[in-house]
Amino acid sequence: MMDEIVKEFLVESHENLDRLDRDLVALEKDPRAKETLASIFRTIHTIKGASGFLAFGKLEAVAHVAENLLSKLRDGILSFTPEMASALLATVDAIRFMLGQIEITGQPGDRDFSGLIERLTRLNAGTNAPPLTASAAESPVLAAPQPSQSVGPGVPNSPSAPIASPEAVAESATTTVLPLSPPPDRASAAAKTLVLPPPPLHEMASAAPPETAETRNSAVSDSTIRVDVGLLDKLMNLVGELVLARNQVLQFTTQSADSTFLATSQRLNLITTELQGSVMKTRMQPIGNVWNKLPRMVRDLATACGKEIRIEMEGQETELDKTIIEAIKDPLTHIVRNSVDHGIERPQARVEHGKPAEGCLKMRAYHEGGQVNIEITDDGGGIDYERVKQKALQRGVITAEQAGRMSDHETLHLIFLPGFSTAEKVTNVSGRGVGMDVVKTNIEKIGGTVDLQSQLGEGTTLKIKIPLTLAIIPALIVTSGGDRFAIPQVSLLELVRLEGEQARRQIEFIHGAPVYRLRGQLLPLAYLNRELNIKEKSESDSAAVNIVVLQADGHPFGLVVDEINDTEEIVVKPLGKQLKSVSSFAGATIMGDGRVALILDVLGLAQRANVVSEVRDRTMSEKVVQAHKAANTRQALLLFDAGQGSRMAIPLSMVARLEEFPQSAVEHAGAQEVVRYRGQILPLIRVSKHVPVVRKTATDQNELMQVVVYSEQGRSVGLVVGRINDIVDETITVKRHACGNGIFGSVVIQDKVTDLLDVQAVIRAADPSFYANIPANKAAA
Amino acid sequence: MSDSKQYSTFYLNGLFFGVEVLKVQEVIRYQEMTRVPLAPRMIEGLINLRGQIVTAIDLRRRLELPPRAEGQLPMNVVVRSEDGAVSLLVDEIGDVVEIQDDTYERPPETLDGVARELIQGVYKLKERLLLILDTEKTVGVPTSAARASDIGN
């Protein structure tokens, strides 16, 4: 792999050389043109400087003598002669040849240019001492090449062409060429070298083109050109249009039986896809461009913090769209800064924990599923979940009860809450968090996601997933209320389809909020029709329910749509300013049939449906519920069967969660039945044992138990019920007739007599210690 | 001799409106459009104008005029705005007229509400008045936030 810098040098130098050719010829016509001369001087000077910097000594030597000559010309010490022009043009050719060699082999090649150097020096002579030092180092005057073995693409003459000796060159640039036998000691070394003959000027003109033509084939300078980004943007837009037109054409293919048309449109399809890919590539840049400045930053920061940190990078060549590269620059810097500042401990602390004194920051980038993943891993202190929770409690972001039931993952995501950033010292201990909300917002703005994993004492990994490009994205097309909507594939997790009866049973309600059990996890549901205030599908009860499982902010949620159509590549177009206030849409696109479809903004939609930032929202809704209860006797009740056919109800406000466990998950702690639940032990109480109902007969090991989780003061207990039926909102008047232990009374709900379960009594009966710490009046509430 | 200006005219609920002809990109027939849920009421939908997505604003609603009779298809007057092309839905298209500046007058003080905000001036033509719309304001979001959010359920 050629070094990026060398490549750039080659491109630039080739451009410069082309200009040199022109300028020299122009100068020959008008030797007094100061401007031209100055330009030539600058160009040679640049090449000399760069080649010196890149340690191409030979190249530097040639450029150096040419520069000397030019400087005298510029200063008026010498006047320009055709002889000088030839020599300088020969220099240009020599430089070009060496550049060609550098490109192929990485080195200027071992062809000898001492003759040329000598010639230039002589031309320069007559005033000061010729600057032989530069050439003396590597070119003995005798180093004439072996004629018979001359090769190289840049050689205009046939191998048998006579070779110019340095002397000949020096004596006469325009006429003589003398054959010279190679010195024996250089015979093998010179195998690939050839001194350019100094042809007469008029010959030079004709000799140059074939040479250039040949050299050009592989030249880096010809494989790259500089293009205005604006032009690329335009090209990208046009390809976007083409993709749309292609989609339109493809739509006709379904209705047509014309095989020629089908074949042609297939071809169009393939070519468009390829074109799209190629055009996208033009805007791609390796992520290394952004990373390059990180080592320095890490070093400086680490020194400032008194830490030892080594940075490792993997996948620098992973390419991303230019706009995305720009967009992730700041977040990345921020994350790395955080890792260095808060993540990695001081050497002493590290050694105490049995880790090497030197911390390691790993950056990794790779492609996966049409997205780019970037991982930033440090082997620092990790994040202390408890500290994060405590801080969240202090700031009132979550309640104690929520803290108790938060998973580690949820806890980590607290760090991304805006309130959690800046100045608060939480994160100094826990690892990071300064401005993480900003990082997250920025990444999400370009359609990416951020995820955090941390192991206390072992380190933290931050994973960023970003789309390759912004302009064309794969999307799922859905229909709701007769309109089509595009959902960016990035947010899509899976699709669930519930048929008829199944649909009605499996969508449950917690206080009116629909949920679906997706592999044991409760998935909050949002109905697209309702969220967007568009008309509901008629007969929605009988038909199948399509759930698009999406991820917003790390929280999965289900979006119920009327129909799921297909995935398609769509071109994202922004919405006008009149629609900026509508947060549910990220843009619009033109579909195959030419109609416009809106692109859903999954995050905006989730926020609208209150399925994200659930931590905060839940706190609020709970408060609302309590206020509501106080003001009104209407209560939301959870209806269930305790055993065979006995309808029971408990106030929904007492329900923390509804869960399902297989019988096989039940373990025993003493006589108490328990299950492991969210990292805790949840005692189970079988309601049927405590209330007078007909018990179910022996249960199958695999059968799922329905469990109502009840929490009080951070303690939880699971009430095992027969079946959860419904949630109703009813004004209840308790007809007190205590028919037994554990029953509070009976009410009529939905025209049926329903027993109200006395939850406290049941729990007290099963576990007298449960309420030990809770005042009696509270328990009776 | 005073200067004159050209206006592209259209009708809306019996009123005669004009917008500067240079502001008008094109006039097209009714297009099928995609409605935008939750959008401000004045937004009728999005149309595909040769690959460009253009927001269509129902001028009747924008000007708080009674709704168009059912079955009457509006026309699109596509105007250029700072934010790109926006389509104004009008009842009927009139001619492009050239009018002398000396018949121009500021709208009377009695105009109020949205009309005062959007009607920039009046030309007193022989047979009727031509109301000149401020296109930039017209395509803007209504100043009163309340109006933007009342969506029919």
Q: Could you write out the DSSP letters of every residue in A228-291? A: -HHHHHHHHHHHHHHHHHHHHHHHHHTT---HHHHHHHHHHHHHHHHHHHHHHHHTEEETHHHH
How distant is the alpha carbon of residue A552 from its chain centre? 16
The pLDDT of residue A622 is above 50 = no
Closest alpha carbon within chain A to B45: A596
Highest mean pLDDT among A77-91, A673-687, A716-730, B67-81: B67-81
Give the residue-averaged pLDDT of A172-188: 41
Question: A119: pLDDT confidence band, cut at 50, 70 and 90?
Answer: confident
Other C-beta atoms lying within 10 Å of the C-beta of residue A758? 21
Q: Residue B37 and residue A588: Cβ atoms within 8 Å?
A: no
Q: Which residues, 6 or more positions from A640, have their beta carbon under 8 angstroms from its beta carbon? A: A647, A648, A649, A650, A706, A708, A721, A722, A723, A724, A725
Q: What are phi and psi of A151, to 5 degrees?
A: -140, -165
Rg (CA), chain B: 15
Does residue A176 have a pLDDT over 60? no
DSSP B108: P
Rounded CA-CA distance A651/A638 in Å is: 6
Q: How far is A155 from chain B (nearest CA, A)?
A: 54
User: Are A377 and A361 contacting, i.e. CB atoms less than 8 angstroms apart?
Assistant: yes
Count Cβ atoms below 10 Å from residue A268 Cβ, excluding itself: 16
Rounded to an integer, the average pLDDT of A386-394 is: 79
Best residue of B32, B48, B135, B137 to probe chain A, by most A CBs closer than 10 Å: B48
Residues A597, B34: C-beta atoms closer than 8 Å: yes
pLDDT(A130) > 60: no
Q: Is B84 within 8 Å of chain A by CB?
A: yes
Q: What is the pLDDT of residues A251-262, one digit of tens each?
A: 888 888 888 888
Query: Which is nearest to A761 in space by CA: A710, A696, A694?
Result: A710
**Per the CB < 8 Å rule, is B55 touching A575?**
yes
The CA dihedral of A555, A560, A561, A564, to the nearest 10 degrees, is 70
Reported as a pLDDT band with limits 50, 70 and 90, residue A486 is very high
Q: Which of A181-190, A260-269, A528-537 has the highest mean pLDDT?
A: A260-269
B51–A contact, CB cutoff 8 A: yes
pLDDT 10s digits, B46-85 = 998 877 789 999 998 888 888 888 888 899 999 988 878 8
Q: Which of B33, B35, B38 to mutate to test the interface with A (most CBs of A within 10 A)?
A: B38
Selection from A217-221, A223-227, B67-71 with the highest mean pLDDT: B67-71
Closest partner residue to A579 (CB to CB) among B39, B51, B151 is B39
Q: Which residue has the higher pLDDT, A137 or A765?
A: A765
- Which of A244, A481, A579 shows the shortest C-beta gap to B36? A579
pLDDT at residue A424 tops 50: no
What confidence score (pLDDT) does residue A778 get?
43
Answer yes or no: is pLDDT of A354 > 90: no
Question: How high is the mean pLDDT of chain A?
Answer: 73
pTM listed for this prediction: 0.47
Chain B: residue nearest A483 by CA? B34
Question: Which residues in chain B land under pLDDT 70?
Answer: 1-2, 142-153
- Tell me how close the Cα of A585 comes to any Cα of chain B, in angstroms: 9
Task: Give Cα separations from A637 to A114, A302, A754, A758, B105 (angstroms).
Answer: 99, 58, 11, 13, 67
| Cross-chain residue pair A241–B53, CB shorter than 8 Å | no
| pLDDT confidence band for A219 (50 / 70 / 90) | low
Which string of DSSP letters, residue by residue, matches A606-647?
HHHTT-SSHHHHHHHHHHHHHHHHHH-SEEEEEEEESSSS-E
Rounded mean pLDDT, A706-720:
79
| pLDDT at residue A271, as a whole number | 92
A710 class by beta-carbon count within 10 Å (0-12 exposed, 13-18 middle, 19+ buried): buried
Q: What is the pLDDT of residue A713?
A: 67
Highest mean pLDDT among A520-529, A642-651, A726-735: A520-529
Q: Which residues of A touch B42 (CB under 8 A)?
A: 578
Q: From CA A284, how far away is CA A357, in angstroms rounded?
A: 38
Mean pLDDT of A166-186: 41
Alpha carbon B65 to chain centroid, angstroms = 12
Residue B46 touches chain A, beta carbons under 8 Å: yes
B139 → closest Cβ in A578, A582, A589 = A578
Cα–Cα separations (whole angstroms), residue A126 to A63, A121, A357, A574, A605: 20, 10, 65, 71, 83
C-alpha distances out from residue A658 to A508, A520, A720, A726, Å: 10, 10, 10, 12
Min Cα distance A546 → chain B (Å) is 20
Mutate to test the interface with A, among B32, B44, B53 (most CBs of A within 10 A): B53
Mark yes or no for CB contact A244/B51 under 8 Å: yes
- Is B47 an interface residue toward A (CB < 8 Å)? yes
B47–A596 C-beta distance less than 8 A:
yes
* Other CB atoms within 10 A of residue A297 CB: 14
Do A466 and A328 meet the contact criterion of CB atoms below 8 Å apart? yes
Is pLDDT above 70 for A618? no
Q: Give the pLDDT score at A478.
A: 92
At residue B11, the pLDDT reads 92
Mean pLDDT of A478-489: 88
The proportion of chain A whose per-residue pLDDT surpasses 70, expressed as a percent, equals 75
For residues B16 and A361, what is the distance between their CA atoms, to the nearest angstrom? Answer: 70
Could you tell me the pLDDT band of residue A171, with boundaries at 50, 70 and 90?
very low
How would residue A139 be classed by pLDDT, with cut points 50, 70 and 90?
very low
**pLDDT for B127:** 85
Q: Confidence band (pLDDT; 50, 70, 90) for A276? A: confident
- Choose among A578, A582, A584: nearest Cβ to B57: A578
pLDDT band at A170 (very low <50, low <70, confident <90, very high): very low
Task: Place A148 in a pLDDT band, splitting at 50, 70 and 90.
Answer: very low
Q: Which residue did the predictor score with more confidence, A173 or A391? A: A391
Chain A contact for B141 (CB, 8 A cutoff):
yes
The answer to whether B148 contacts A577, with C-beta atoms less than 8 Å apart, is no
The contacts of residue A378 (CB under 8 Å, 6+ apart) are A339, A340, A343, A344, A359, A360, A361, A362, A459, A460, A461
Amino acid letter, residue A154: G
B100 Cβ under 8 Å from any chain A Cβ: no
Question: Are the Cβ atoms of A532 and B43 closer than 8 angstroms?
Answer: no
For chain A, the maximum distance between any two Cα atoms, rounded to a whole number of angstroms, is 128
Using CA coordinates, name the residue in chain A closest to B145. A581
Q: Which helix (H) or strand (E) holds A488?
A: strand A483-488
Chain B residues lying within 8 Å of A584, measured CB to CB: 37-38
> Mean pLDDT, to the nearest integer, of A761-780?
62
What mean pLDDT do residues A422-448 have?
59
Tokens of A146: 């072996």
Instruction: Provide CB contacts within 8 A for A781, sequence distance 6+.
Output: none
